[in-house]
Structure 1
Amino acid sequence: MAFLDYVLQAPAYGWKDSHDDVVKPTSSQIFREFFSRLNVFRCKTNWLPFVSWLKVACLAPFFFLFLFRYMSLPLLGVAFVYSMIIMGTHGTIWYHRYCTHRAYTFRNRFWRFVTQNLTISVVSEELYVISHHVHHAKSDQPGDPYNAQCGFLYCFLADVNHQPISKQLSECDYRRICSLMKPAGGKGNSYAGYLKWGSYTNPYRAILSWLLNWSFWYLVFFLLGGNALACCIFGAAGFWAIGVRTFNYEGHGKGKDKKRKGTDYHLQDNSINQLWPGYVAGEWHNNHHLFPRSARSGYKPHQVDLAWCYIKMMSWVGAVSSYKDDKKRFYQRFYRPQ
């Protein structure tokens, strides 16, 4: 079996049936798997997906404080910009184009650290990176951790049900995990640590990093605008943390082939280009599946790509030392402007 066939922890309902067709679990099966994998008392190797949703739970009070105590039109505008544009674009810049696809390189660790912590920390690099490699290898096929053909819940709860790495990898396979996680920086578990915690990420370092990141940003926002601004932005981060879990379902046509001629050029899966994710986060998803290692995915004149703007700006100031841009290849192979 190829490494990406077994690198993720298979759900109890499996990836495919005896006929090699994708398994489409019922809602009750999905929820049963979800709560089982959140149970850290039953098994401590469930800690990473548990912390993933613990962050969401911790952001919820800020959201409700903002909603019922501090709400105002100016702060609502701030919340919109932070959740939809800043958090979304940062996700594309950091998790997607850098940590997973290595579409660009930083000049040094300092700029990598700055970019990693540009926003409130919500998403685990490990849960995102490894599963996303599998997603590209098996897009819309059995084994795709967020296969839109299996329904909304399958995608929405994927970070718990389908994205954690297998707990039974050999030492050789674990070294491959370490290689895939190298761009994210930081020190991962040894193989013995992986066997103990079921993850590349060390829980103590992860929790310390989380607390430092949130403390820093809460202090910054409090100094700028008091508890009102801090609750506004932390609440906005919580809103994004829920919303981003819907993207892969929408970005793959809700499980149906919704590609449009002249708009979507990658025909091997159901990924589609959408205006909203494209404009607010630089996520022109079909373009990305066409050239996954490109630091730019907005190729046509109307396809604004804020993530690419950040990467290009960082290149101008010397913080990014190299990047890959496939716009020319896209024009040569697929698009001739009128």
Structure 2
Amino acid sequence: MTFLKNVLEPPVYGWRDPAGNFTKPSNFQISSEFFSRLNVFKNKKNWLSFVSWLLVLCLAPFLFLFIFKYFSITGLIIAFVYGMIVMGTHGTIWHHRYCTHRAYKFKNKFWRFITQNLTLKIIPEEIYAISHHVHHALSDQPGDPYNAQGGFLYCFLADVNHQPIARNMSVKDYNRCVTMMDHTGVQPNTYEQYQKWGSVANPGRAILSIILNWGFWFTVFFLIGGPSLVCAIFGAAGIWAVGVRTFNYEGHGKGKDMRREGIDYNRDDMSINQIWPGFVAGEWHNNHHLFPNSARSGFKPYQIDTAWYYIKFLSLIGAVSSYRDSKKQFYLEYCPVPVANKKQFAAAEKVPFIAEQV
């Protein structure tokens, strides 16, 4: 826990007051920190955050071209499916369940590479994975990088203000960061390179991988549907890249207790299950906080889990060698009704909230 409390670079306004309580910064403080940490001329260690938002800006022209030049209903449908479902599901599959929680294992590097590059590469693995471990350890507490009690802007700009790793770690702590990323395929900096760049990822390799990824998908979509398809999909990816930054604020009740009995069984934090993120990305967030290492988080019959379907499919064809599935444990601990058929399965949904009795 000591390591996780110190693994992220603290913002100038800090995580907590001297008494250890969470202090909510003003929107001005948050904005000032954001622009300061994007300034690569001031400090080249800001490169990873800068690249992350530069990618969003690079996608904006595609969106404008689609809206004002190539717009069509067919293109809009394609953009919706790609931006909401494909990008959302891939984020859950790759960044969330694999990079962070190691909920499943690939048979070999080939399938890991394919899964990593299924969509446009926008979010650096390092920014997501390491900080997400902290989020689970300190969920809704001081030090949580996207603590919803800090407000919308606190969460929306967290990838720059709160999620980059600390820049003055010891060799031991830096090696622990490397270990947290060693399964992702990201080739780490040496400790000396880390001292120069302030990151696990190397800027040269990271930027090259993005260029190759974007170049490949640009070519594929152009050959399939020309510039109109390219603009529709790249523009949709840009919308997703902005929208995903709002998720944890919404997914933790906007800083309020919005948990519902019989739906949100985890009572250790303010995470909630939401229909929209669940259906389009397999992100049943309260379920996930209940069993964070599970490759499936859609446990109940209505909880569609597109990310799980992909992982299960890869398992069936031998591309995934193992996975964790906590569905049986969920029903055993929180809905203890024998499930022999669909009727009994549906009956399990009507069991009242019993978390305190288990």
Tell me which interval the TM-score lies in, with the shorter structure as reference length.
over 0.9
Deviation at 1:183, TM superposition (A): 1.8
**Alignment of structure 1 residues 60-209 onto 2, 5 Å:** 60-209=60-209
**Rg: which structure is higher?**
2
Find the aligned partners of 2:154 and 2:71 in 1 and give their Cα distance: 33
The alignment of Structure 1 onto Structure 2 pairs a total of residues equal to 338
The equivalent of 2:9 in structure 1 is 9
Question: What are the Cα deviations for residues 21-46 of structure 1, in whole angstroms up to 9, with x where unaligned?
Answer: 11100000000000000000010000
Residue 232 of structure 1 and its aligned partner are, at CA, apart by: 0.5
Letter in 1 for 2:56: V
Secondary structure of 2:105's aligned partner: strand
Deviations 1:253-299 (Å, cap 9, x if unpaired)? 00000000000000010000000000000000000000000000000
1:186 Cα deviation after fit: 3.0
Residue in structure 2 matched with residue 49 of structure 1 by the alignment: 49
| C-alpha deviation, 1:187, in angstroms | 1.2
Partner amino acid, structure 2, of 1:181:
M
The match for 2:341 is none
1:200 & 1:187 partners in 2: Cα distance? 8
**Structure 1 residues without counterparts, runs of 5 or longer:** none
In 1, distance between residues paired with 2:313 and 2:24?
Answer: 44
CA distance in 1, matches of 2:43, 2:122: 23
Measured in 2, the distance between the counterparts of 1:177 and 1:291 equals: 23
Q: Does 1:229 align with 2:214?
A: no
- Looking at structure 2, the residues matched to 99 and 278 of structure 1 have their Cα atoms a distance apart, in angstroms, of 19
Show structure 1 runs of 4+ deviating over 4 A.
Answer: none
One-letter amino acid matched to 1:215: G
Tell me, in whole angstroms, the C-alpha distance in 2 between the residues paired with 1:45 and 1:2: 24
Q: For residues 242-263 of structure 1, what are the alpha-carbon distances to aligned partners after superposition, in whole Å with 9 as ceiling and x for unaligned?
A: 0000000000000000000000
1:328 to 2:297 alignment: no
Identify the residue that residue 240 of structure 1 maps to in structure 2: 240
Instruction: Give the aligned residue type for 1:171.
Output: V
Distance 1:51 1:293 in 2: 29
Contact 2:186 2:201 (8 Å CA) reproduced: no
CA drift of 1:18 comes to 1.6
1-structure distance, mates of 2:81, 2:74: 11
Q: What is the identity percentage for the equivalent residue pairs of Structure 1 and Structure 2?
A: 66
Deviations 1:84-103 (A, max 9, x none): 00000000000000000000
1:16-72 CA-partner distances (Å, limit 9, x unpaired): 012211110000000000000000001000000000000000000001111111110
Aligned equivalents of 1:159, 1:239: Cα separation in 2:
16
CA contact (8 A) 2:135 2:144 kept: yes
Q: TM-score, normalised by structure 1?
A: 0.99
Unaligned runs of 5+ in 2: 338-344, 348-358
Name the SS for the 2:69 alignment partner: helix
- Aligned pairs for 1:244-263 (under 5 A) are 244-263=244-263
- 1:143-197, Cα deviation, whole Å (9 max, x unpaired): 0000001100000000000000000000000110000011211311000010000
In 1, Cα distance between equivalents of 2:327 and 2:221: 38
Q: Which residue of structure 2 aligns with residue 23 of structure 1? A: 23
